Chain A
Amino acid sequence: MYAQLVKSEGLKSREDMSPEERDFQDRVDNGEKIEPKDWMPEGYRKTLIRQIGQHAHSEIVGQLPEGNWITRAPTLERKAILLAKVQDEAGHGLYLYSAAETLGVSRDELLEKLHSGKMKYSSIFNYPTLNWADIGAVGWLVDGAAIMNQVPLQRTSFGPYSRAMIRICKEESFHQRQGYAIMMKMAAGTPEQKDMAQDALNRFWFPSLMMFGPSDKDSVHSAQSMAWKIKMNTNDELRQKFVNETVPQADYLGLKVPDDKLAWNEDKQGYDFSEPDWSEFFEVIKGNGPCNRERLNARVKAWDDGAWFREGLNAYADKAADRRKAAAVAAE
């Protein structure tokens, strides 16, 4: 998902737990929220920092493929809408970095790890947005897939993460709908526009399915994260749900999901579908996707180019504080 392949501990059995760990697990099982100052297992803290950090990075790197089209949106209204959407994503990044910070890591540290390649962001943002239809496909499919993952995470055990998710989910539905509205317009447009919409779907379908990560139904890491309620569903469950909801939406557009094996399965009340090419996924994660280098360079450049500004505001704040101090002394 926005956090793919998050490393965690193996699942600990109840007998192996310390008394504190057992109390902690009981609280989680009872649906209590864990707050930053509460005792928590070190593995819980570390896994959460990795997961929330990766999620935050995805939000801000995710601004890049869409930001690419703000200046080229077809109308002023579309431009304003896209700008608002991309601005929301900056906010999502901020909510999530703040949640991670409550676990004792600073935002600058997390950004440093993103910029040095030590931390990852979602594989999906390493694909290019080649034309306006891609902006429709991203909102519809990428934000749609993100919603699948984020809605259950509103119930996650860690209070600050849960609250960030609630805030984010309130805003995501606008993202998906504006994307789908673009697709509706394109699909109902000229034959060339409809072809562009189909082409965008063709290119974004499998990368969107990859967002959920490879199957983890047998993974001990996922089992531990699920016991801690920092992961609410298996990757396969969420992927299936996404396919089930998205195929009828493609049908409505008169577009074809690019999968010959796609078929309704009456028994499971869901679609059968082809797995994405997981070797491609691992290549993208390793840094060899179409846009990995470009995305990371853009991030690092934005950070470096903004340094003088962050410094300047610090200097101004320090001076203003000195001036206030001097004024207070003079008044005495």
Chain B
Amino acid sequence: MIILDAIIQGILMGLLFALVALGLTIIFGVMDIVNFAHGEFLMIGMFTAYWTSLLLHVDPLIALPTSAIVGTLLGVASYYWLVKYLLRGPMIAQLFGTFGLMLFLRYLAQFLFGTDYRIVQKGLLVGKSLSLGPFILDWTKLSAAILSLFAFTLVYYLLHRTKLGRALRATALNKEAASYMGIKTDRMNALAWAIGGGTVGIAGGLLVNFWYVYPTVGLLFVMIAFASVALGGFGSIKGAFFAGVIIGMIEMLFPVLGHLIGSDFLGPHFKFTLVYFAYFIIVVLRPQGLFGWKH
């Protein structure tokens, strides 16, 4: 029972991980660029929801659209004001470019908000839980999971069922060929950053309901997102989804197993070590990730 509970909690958390990983994998898929500032986008999404709900006295869930909008704008601005110029430089410039963006946003947040840990104190769902037989689910986590799944599905639909989405995928597969089709690849790049920023902004808005927000909060989550993207296959949307959920489950399951067999080795403080361990094993066995690249 305790295992089943851990699995359920893991899936809930994993759906949010998947949404965080989604933007990273799309940006990589379309541009072959790793957005090191992705965790900071998440942090900004969290702060946006936090301040909106605090200052406007609305529920953090109602503040969610502002997180989405701020995330989208942040993505687009990053593309047009920074990444676009980096593309002309060598690979290494692209690497350090988004790394620089990460530092900039992180310390900007520190400058503006200080290093305090803040948490949403009150909200419709905060502190409430749902009992389903023997399982007790926090409403905040449950709604975050459901809305993550919804956002993920929406983006999946956009990419696979619309003309715009197909153009984006074509750009990811082969930029040159896409341009010969009349696709404006520069706009597709911007679109990838818009989706990337928007989805991770939403993830931040959901996360802030049950997680402390502080300027370096993105680090933990972006590490998980990197693992998800590598595990699922760079640029793979399905891969990000399943890898996110798998990592969520590993993260919840291992401490429980450790507890059951009475071993400290599998204790909570090691849970992410195990995530990376699982990741290493899979990367050795299947370097292209679960779903292969760019699917």
Q: Do A and B come from one complex?
A: no
Query: Contact residues of B with A, CB < 8 Å?
Result: none
Query: Contact residues of A with B, CB < 8 Å?
Result: none
